[in-house]
Amino acid sequence: MTWQQKIDDALTARRSADALRRRHAVVQGAGRWLSAGDRQYLNFSSNDYLGLSHHPQIICAWQQGAERFGVGSGGSGHVSGYSVAHQALEEELAQWLGYSRALLFISGFAANQAVIAALMAKDDRIVADRLSHASLLEAASLSPAQLRRFTHNNPEHLSRLLVAPTSGQQLVVTEGVFSMDGDSAPLVEIQRTAQQHRAWLLVDDAHGIGVTGDEGRGSCWQQQVKPELLVVTFGKGFGVSGAAILCSDSVAEYLLQFARHLIYSTSMPPAQAQALRAALAVIRSDEGRQRREKLASLIEHFRAGVDTTAFALAPSHSAIQPLIVGDNARALQLAETLRSQGCWASAIRPPTVPAGTARLRLTLTQAHEKQDIDRLLEVLHGAV
Ligand SMILES: *Cc1c(COP(=O)(O)O)cnc(C)c1O
């Protein structure tokens, strides 16, 4: 087989399974509206749950940060790229979430890769929820450690996998709010199970941080669980991008020595760290609470309005409201119909989700108004 054949075959297989992924160049993609070409759509596919991507104070913090620090950090944090802005953000995050330390990463993907690569060795075992994000499962399968997957949100199955003898350390991996399903992990039971087997727990709370819990402290705070490793990301509720790992002093020192994604990569721009500090201030404030409350009422308005004889609602009370339709072509067709009626939503298909569970992944944001949800419901019900 030639290179050309190898590539053509892979593309043909994707295309014939209605699984070809495409990008759309948008003019604006976060917040209430998505504009693409010369059209504007109601946006039901961004992760900007609190509508912070266009927040004037956060934009201003980024602009002023750029004027003060320049647009780039100039290097890895281990050389000259760790600024007082990064340091201040790390301290604020650690204090907010009740950890000794926070370490910043340029993305959640990098943070997950880094922590698993740095901590897990050949005799170790990773036991991950089957529906964990690709960045976690990919890191785990690249790792020399053994990977076992437990049935989604099932602590009993987790326990059965942890009980198998091992000579190394065990790491349990799950998410706070699941990215494609919107449901929450039973973190209390999962942590108890992990502790019974002296395993550490890593919770990736990409979709919970900022959005749930008192002061937006996320799923772990809400369930009163403190995992050894907490990953939070800033591309969703924070409306920006980047990530942090919250951990103990000694784990932070260890990661500074051994996390290659930190050592050999340019740190985020200091101006971005300033924008994140401004986003954190909004999230913690009364305004943040009001934004979360408005989002919660929009979510319940949507769920109450769905005709459940036509669509199966998922057990999700988060901003992620998937409508699982099963078939790839049907999911694509539904997304297409919505789009032609001015509502932008994504069809999510395998391998992003398990085979036979293609879905319309609808996301709501605080930037929506009630009439936007009503319009979505009207278009959805017209599409069956
Ligand atoms: C989005 C997401 C990530 C990746 O974070 P980025 O900052 O976008 O790289 C990691 N984990 C989960 C659960 C996510 O949803």
Query: Is 133 assigned a catalytic role?
Result: yes
| 48-88 pLDDT per residue, tens | 999 999 999 999 999 999 999 999 999 999 999 999 999 99
DSSP 25: -
Place of tokens 């990919």: 138
CATH 3.60.9.10 fits 56-284, yes or no: no
Phi first, then psi, for residue 302 (nearest 5°) are -65, -50
Catalytic residue among 46, 47, 107, 318: 47
Q: Where are the domains of the chain?
A: 26-49+285-382, 56-284
Is 57:278 a contact under the CB 8 Å cutoff? yes
CATH superfamily of domain region 26-49+285-382: Aspartate Aminotransferase, domain 1 (3.90.1150.10)
Closest by Cα among 119, 113, 117, 114 to 133: 113
The burial of 356, by beta-carbon neighbours within 10 Å (0-12 exposed, 13-18 middle, 19 or more buried), is given as exposed
What is the reported pLDDT for 147?
97
What is the reported pLDDT for 342?
96
**CA-proximal residue: ligand 1, atom 6 (nearest):** 108
**CA-proximal residue: ligand 1, atom 4 (nearest):** 108
Is 211:49 a contact under the CB 8 Å cutoff? yes
What is the reported pLDDT for 43?
97
Query: Is 204 assigned a catalytic role?
Result: yes
Consult the annotation and say whether 179 binds a ligand. yes
Question: In 114-234, where do the E strands start and end?
Answer: 125-129, 146-150, 170-175, 200-204, 229-233
134-142 helix and 108-119 helix, angle to the nearest 10 degrees: 30
Q: How far apart are CA 219 and CA 204, in angstroms?
A: 10
pLDDT < 50 stretches in the chain: none
| Structure-block tokens of residue 184 | 């929450």
Consult the annotation and say whether 207 binds a ligand. yes
Ligand 1, CB within 6 Å, residue ranges = 107-109, 112, 133, 135, 175, 179, 204, 206-207, 233, 235, 241, 243
Pocket test for ligand 1, best of 46, 106, 109 (most atoms within 8 A of CB): 109
| Structure-block tokens of residue 269 | 């721009």
Residue 87 forms beta bridges with which residues? none
Q: How far apart are CA 84 and CA 285, in angstroms?
A: 23
Q: How far apart are CA 90 and CA 255, in angstroms?
A: 14
CA 93 to ligand 1 center in whole angstroms = 18
Is 185:129 a contact under the CB 8 Å cutoff? yes
Question: CA-based Rg of the chain, rounded to a whole angstrom?
Answer: 21
Consult the annotation and say whether 292 binds a ligand. no
Catalytic residue among 175, 181, 205, 372: 175
Query: Is 287 assigned a catalytic role?
Result: no
Q: How far apart are CA 108 and CA 254, in angstroms?
A: 19
Length of the chain: 384
Catalytic residue among 207, 261, 294, 368: 207
Consult the annotation and say whether 233 binds a ligand. yes
Q: Are strands 146-150 and 125-129 parallel, antiparallel or unpaired?
A: parallel
Closest by Cα among 219, 237, 178, 235 to 364: 237
What count of other Cβ atoms lies within 10 Å of the Cβ of residue 309? 7
Q: How far apart are CA 83 and CA 87, in angstroms?
A: 6
Closest by Cα among 317, 314, 338 to 325: 314
Place of tokens 């924008």: 275
